[in-house]
Every structure is written in C-alpha cells, then in structure tokens.
Amino acid sequence: MITKRLVPLALAATLSLPALADEAAVRKSLESKLGRPLTSLTRTPYLGLYEAYADGQIFYTDEKVSVIIAGALIDGKSMKNITDERLQKLTAIKFSDLPLALAVKQVRGDGKRVVATFEDPNCGYCKKLAKDLAKLDNVTIYTFLYPILSPDSLEKSNRIWCAADKAKAWNDWMVDGKAPGGKGDCDTTAVKKTIEIGRKLAITGTPTIFFADGERVPGAIPLAKIEEKLAQTATR
C-alpha cells in the first residue's frame, strides 16, 4: 500500500520539475536583462505569459524571454485592466506596519477614519491633495515628509518637522502658501528614516496615499474618491 501511494506522488513531483526549471530560467534571464532582482514571478492565464514584479512595476514576458512588455494587460472578455488589479494587490501593505510616529499627525473630529500619505513639500499635486484633505472631518491623517524632488524639499521638510506645531506648519505651507520658518536644526532623524522607508516601499512619486486596508494609491485622487474609500475601510 505504501508503494502504491508513493508512485503517484513521485510521478507528480517529476512532472512538476520542468515547470519549476522553466520558471527559474525565466527569472534568471529576466533579472539579467532588467538589471534588478524580481520580487515575484508568476505565470498568467494569458498567452502563456509570465508576470514579473520588480520595484513597483509589472512586466510581462514569454518563456524564452524573447519579449519584455511594460504596459497594461487588458482582459478581452471583461475588459478589466488586469495589470492595475494586480498592482493594487502587489503594492498593498499592512497599515499597522507603517511607523506612524515618524509622520505629521492631524486628528479631526472623532479621528476614527485613517489615511497616510507620503508627500514632498514642493509637490504641486501634494498641495492640491492637502487642500482636499483639509475639507475632511472625523479623520486622522498621517503625513510622512518625503523630500525627493529637490534639495530645497529636504530643507522645507526639516523646518516643518522642527516646528512647534508640525501640522500647522505643514498646512500653512501646503494650503496657505506660508513658507515654514525656523532653521530646521532639531533632530530630523524622522525625515531621514521616512526617505529610507519610502525607498523600501518603492515609492517613486508623490503624493502616495495608503488607506486603512493597506491599499496604495499613487498620485492625487478626487476628494469624492477619498471619501468613498474612507467609508469603505471604516466599516471593516
């Protein structure tokens, strides 16, 4: 009886070896051509293509890595953007893993709804987002100062972090256009750590928004969409 059970298992293992070997070969070849390690590599149900994920981007290739496709994959039947759906899952985080003590915290009303953003003080879209977020109530906003656009961005971030009232200094600049004062000569380790965290999370642009369910949204989105998402996550 033991022998009869082992034979099918051994056969199944043998049959799976070529697939594993093919995947390993695809990974090795693709990493060499892209010049970076892959976070994940999975086979899609579309035309035998592999989906590769690296540094916040999705690529597609065939088993011979004869082509590398960077772009949206659309399901021909449902017309769904498969790439966007997959990116939403692949870039999601665990909200509780964010080091919230490094962020500028604003509590409005009961503060029950939560959202976190990574923003550069010189980012125009971030200023638009800040104006929209200022209209929200019953929310806690965690703003991570993420100065990646220019040397001046770092200087402004440090001054905001060193202000007696960080949230006021942030809103004064982003919403009202009042430049942050002070010298920015306090302990700005939080800003440095935020830059490191942003890189680990492959945040390449600002603003980047994270909701309570871990979903990541790159770029500014309409206030109505933010309200809709906050309502969804508040009920979970």
Q: Parse the chain into domains and list their residue ranges.
A: 2-90, 95-234
State residue 140's pLDDT score.
Answer: 98
DSSP label of 105: E
- Using one digit for the tens of pLDDT, what is the confidence trace for 137-160? 999 999 999 999 998 999 999 999
> Residues 227, 213: contact at Cβ < 8 Å?
no
> Residues 59, 31: contact at Cβ < 8 Å?
no
Instruction: Quote the CATH superfamily of domain 2-90.
Output: Disulphide bond isomerase, DsbC/G, N-terminal (3.10.450.70)
The whole-chain average pLDDT of the chain stands at: 89
Q: Which region among 10-24, 79-93, 112-126 has the lowest average model confidence (pLDDT)?
A: 10-24
- pLDDT at 234 exceeding the cut of 70: yes
Confidence of residue 19 (pLDDT cuts 50, 70, 90): low
- pLDDT at 135 exceeding the cut of 90: yes
Higher pLDDT, 151 or 4: 151
Total-model pTM: 0.80
Instruction: Quote the CATH superfamily of domain 95-234.
Output: Glutaredoxin (3.40.30.10)
- Using one digit for the tens of pLDDT, what is the confidence trace for 170-228? 999 999 999 998 888 999 999 999 999 999 998 999 999 999 999 999 999 999 999 99
- pLDDT at 21 exceeding the cut of 70: no
Would you say how long the chain is, in residues?
236
CA 55 – CA 75 distance, rounded (Å) = 24
Go through 57-66 and write b for each residue having 16 or more CB atoms within 10 A of its CB, e for each that does not. bbbbbeeebe
DSSP label of 101: G
